[in-house]
Chain A
Amino acid sequence: MSDASRASDKGRVFADDERVLADEGRVLDAVRRALGRSETARPDPLEPFDETNAEGEAETSREELIARFTFEAGAVGSHVHRADSVGELTDTVARVCADADVKEVALSGAELFAELNLSARLAAHGLSSFAASDFGPGGREGLIARLEGCGAGVTAADYAIAETGTVALGSDEEGALLVSLLPAIHFAVLRPSQIAWSLGAVIERLKAERMARAEPCRSATFITGPSRTSDVELVLSIGVHGPKELHLIILGE
């Protein structure tokens, strides 16, 4: 098939092209030959592994989890705030935005934000906001430009890990992914109940709740601190590509 005829059939060319399938056969045959067999056999599953976490999480109290999460997140340059009410939450966002001279914030489409009526509350602080879940008339490019122009994005975390001060966002929503990435300041709101002790526990929940279902979540991101690099002389430099500031707001029940 010539390049020209391939190019004309834009949707399917790279899906089930004959040559693509032949290449698949060739690589798989080479793998089987290297392993000394002619047909793929289903292996016995790997024996289970009890990933004993020496510090243990069973007997860790909620407050201990929060304390460790706060400590570890702080150690990698995140700012952790406690908010006992939605009023305190909006105060925190407004204060940080005022300090950074930010006038407009993007909100992910999290249900929590609608429940809290966050947009109106921020407006009362003089902060305008927009929902990044709806691309609006400018389409995707329009949203990206808007996210580039605003100073901060607010998302709701799905999980958090105390051991490393990590928050996890699992989302299909195109907007939510970009809200936590393009603006210079990222706020992630989380509930104390979302904090697990270890990575292993969150991996298990992420799999069961989002990855292994019939229509799996298309992406998830673990975020541990602001964007960083040590590529020049191993000197730590914050905010190279992603957000320069990460604010984690623990919203109490």
Chain B
Amino acid sequence: MNHAEQDLAGRSHAALEDAVLQTALKSATDTFISRRREAVAGVPEWQALRARARRVKEHTINNLDYYLEQLAEKVREHGGHVYWATTGEDVGHYCIELARARGVTSVVKSKSMATEEIELNHALEAAGVRPIETDLGEYIIQLAREKPSHIIVPAIHKTREQIAELFAEKLKCGLAREVAEITAVARERLRGEFLSAGMGITGANFAVAETGTIVLVENEGNIRLSTQVPRIHVAVVGIEKVVPRFEDLSVFLRLLPRSGTGQKQTAYVSFLNGPRRRTRGVEADVASRSSEQGQASESEFEFHLVLMDNGRTRILADERMRESLYCIRCGACLNVCPVYQKIGGQAYGWIYPGPIGAVVSPLLQGLKQAGELPFASSLCGACRDACPVDINLPDLLLALRAKVKEAGADVGVARNFAERTAMRGYAAAVKRPKLFAAAGRLVRGLARLVSKDGKVRSAGVPALGEWTKYRDLPAPRGGSFRERWKKKR
């Protein structure tokens, strides 16, 4: 899953040097920020909705066992199957066995972070079941054999020219010039896939415990096609996606599209309660088949809910980190993050990018594997302000940094003797006010000594190299904050 040989710094440097990516990121994040701002301004009760959404999530997560049992029971009552997967491999095995048992050779998939997280496509391909991503952005990513760079717009790092060339090469079609032509090619190719696929695999935005309803939010219509054309629908859903009551949806369905794309409502929201019922014509169809072939079940609709843990109970067990499970995957924190704005999603190295990714990737993948991510944040707090469920992301990032250090991971480590000494000195001084004041005076004096034209440059102090490589430290002027505060009073 970690798709880079380089470390985070290496990947970030590569991203910063990629001019196409920089233009795309700037335009995408600017657009999403302004659309979101406008959409939120139209809802005067926004803060009350956020607080309510957070409360619902908190209540649900704290009673997750109860609501999951209720959900599973309801889905079974409607005639759906429920499978509980501890790991991503379990999900893969289940989907593959199901496909084999039903003779399914191709599967239409709609964008799902859960199945990206577990790399379900690899497992399906290895088992000879062909997965076809049907969200336009995901389709592009699949053809290019890449990883998504944004939760909402996976192919945001690609230009129309690059996509047109990709289509021409992989789909053997003419070179499209307009975006509309690209869309038309995808529509035509994918419609054929929808009509011939034996199974549709989706994620879910919400799963309602009291009614057993799976809720899917989208703009393209590919989710509707994936769930309504093939006979079998499998929804792979993280266990944190459950909400208690049907009414709870109205708060979330107002928050999610406005936060994600700045829309008041997406083009489609599907509410699914178990498998579709057969209508008159189909029953006749089934009867004739069963008399001819004795295989009535092949004509029936099936719904399978796969409830996936894959590390989520580990997060649940950690009371400090638990609130990261409130996330509804809107992507708003990505767009406002000054780090994401510059390095994009792929540089994070894991499927979940941005501030929420910097929290959940280390928790899901392990502190040793993704422990450097919590350090890639300025802790400015823009992510928390943008979060529709008010997750305290800066606080989680800070707490995770401490955890990473405690776990002894090799990140956030001083690079040389001078830096180590400075950090130890700081740690010692900060606890003793008098020493801190004296040390401050000393350091300010030294800094003024080595400064030139009011700036401390790395040439002056080699040990500060990494700190001043891309920015100058202004030379200190006047006294410390505490000295000035004293005077003011």
A239 touches B187 (CB 8 A): yes
Chain B, residues 218-241, CB within 8 Å of chain A (1/0): the string is: 011110110011000000000100
Task: Indicate whether A207 sits within 8 Å of B246 (C-beta atoms), given known contacts A24-B72, A26-B84, A135-B280.
Answer: yes
Alpha-carbon gap, A206 to B208, bound state (A): 14
B304 touches A240 (CB 8 A): no
Q: Is B249 interfacial (CB-CB < 8 Å)?
A: yes
Alpha-carbon gap, A3 to B374, bound state (A): 43
A218 touches B276 (CB 8 A): yes
**A31, A133, A140, A199: the one within 8 Å of B64 (CB):** A31
CB distance from B384 to the nearest CB of A (A): 22
A54 touches B44 (CB 8 A): yes
Q: Is A40 interfacial (CB-CB < 8 Å)?
A: yes
Of A11, A13, A24, A35, most B-chain CB atoms within 10 Å: A35
Task: Indicate whether A172 sits within 8 Å of B84 (C-beta atoms), given known contacts A234-B27, A240-B136.
Answer: no
B220 touches A228 (CB 8 A): yes
CB distance from A113 to the nearest CB of B (A): 16
A212 touches B269 (CB 8 A): no
Identify the stretch in B150-158, B362-370, B394-402, B443-451 within 8 Å (CB) of chain A at 4 or more residues: B150-158
B228 touches A139 (CB 8 A): no
**B250, B261, B279: the one within 8 Å of A133 (CB):** B279
CB distance from A131 to the nearest CB of B (A): 10
Task: Indicate whether A231 sits within 8 Å of B155 (C-beta atoms), given known contacts A14-B83, A135-B282, A203-B250.
Answer: yes
Residues of chain B from 260 to 294 with CB closer than 8 A to chain A in the complex? 261, 263-282, 284-285
Alpha-carbon gap, A126 to B313, bound state (A): 62
- Interface residues of A, dominant DSSP: loop
Task: Indicate whether A216 sits within 8 Å of B31 (C-beta atoms), given known contacts A139-B281, A203-B246.
Answer: no
CB distance from A221 to the nearest CB of B (A): 5
Q: Give chain B residues whose Cβ lies under 8 Å from the Cβ of A163.
A: 264
Q: Give chain A residues whose Cβ lies under 8 Å from the Cβ of B297.
A: 10-11
**B220, B249, B272: the one within 8 Å of A203 (CB):** B249
**A7, A204, A221, A237: the one within 8 Å of B268 (CB):** A221
CB distance from B269 to the nearest CB of A (A): 4
Identify the stretch in B98-106, B339-347, B351-359 within 8 Å (CB) of chain A at 4 or more residues: B98-106
Q: Give chain A residues whose Cβ lies under 8 Å from the Cβ of B246.
A: 203, 206-207, 211-212
A31 touches B228 (CB 8 A): no
Residues of chain A from 227 to 242 with CB closer than 8 A to chain B in the complex? 227-235, 237, 239-242
Identify the stretch in A85-93, A117-125, A175-183 within 8 Å (CB) of chain B at 4 or more residues: A175-183
A14 touches B295 (CB 8 A): no
Q: Is A52 interfacial (CB-CB < 8 Å)?
A: yes
Q: Is A148 interfacial (CB-CB < 8 Å)?
A: yes
Task: Indicate whether A148 sits within 8 Å of B195 (C-beta atoms), given known contacts A23-B90, A199-B250, A241-B134.
Answer: yes
Q: Give chain B residues whose Cβ lies under 8 Å from the Cβ of A11.
A: 297
Identify the stretch in A43-51, A59-67, A149-157 within 8 Å (CB) of chain B at 4 or more residues: A43-51
B190 touches A241 (CB 8 A): yes
A240 touches B250 (CB 8 A): no
**B270 (CB) vs chain A CBs: closest residue:** A221
Q: Is A30 interfacial (CB-CB < 8 Å)?
A: yes
Of B229, B267, B274, most A-chain CB atoms within 10 Å: B267
Q: Give chain B residues whose Cβ lies under 8 Å from the Cβ of A165.
A: 265
Task: Indicate whether A231 sits within 8 Å of B154 (C-beta atoms), given known contacts A140-B281, A219-B271.
Answer: yes
Task: Please tell me the size bucket of the interface on A.
Answer: 35 or more
Q: Is B471 interfacial (CB-CB < 8 Å)?
A: no
Q: Is A41 interfacial (CB-CB < 8 Å)?
A: yes
Identify the stretch in B48-56, B326-334, B416-424, B479-487 within 8 Å (CB) of chain A at 4 or more residues: B48-56
Chain B, residues 30-63, CB within 8 Å of chain A (1/0): the string is: 0100000000000111001100100110010011
Identify the stretch in B112-120, B175-183, B428-436, B459-467 within 8 Å (CB) of chain A at 4 or more residues: B175-183
Alpha-carbon gap, A43 to B154, bound state (A): 39
Task: Indicate whether A42 sits within 8 Å of B267 (C-beta atoms), given known contacts A23-B86, A218-B272.
Answer: no
Q: Is A110 interfacial (CB-CB < 8 Å)?
A: no
Q: Is B186 interfacial (CB-CB < 8 Å)?
A: yes
7 other contacts beyond A13-B101, A203-B249, A240-B186, with CB at 8 A cut-off?
A7-B101, A14-B98, A133-B279, A140-B299, A199-B253, A221-B270, A222-B265
List 12 A-B pairs, Cβ < 8 Å: A10-B297, A51-B52, A72-B264, A140-B299, A218-B273, A224-B264, A228-B219, A232-B183, A233-B24, A241-B134, A241-B191, A241-B220
Binding site for B on A (CB under 8 A): 3, 6-7, 10-11, 13-15, 20, 23-24, 26-28, 30-35, 37, 40-43, 45-47, 49, 51-54, 72, 76, 133-136, 139-140, 143-144, 148, 161, 163-166, 172-175, 177-178, 181, 198-200, 203-204, 206-207, 211-212, 216-235, 237, 239-243
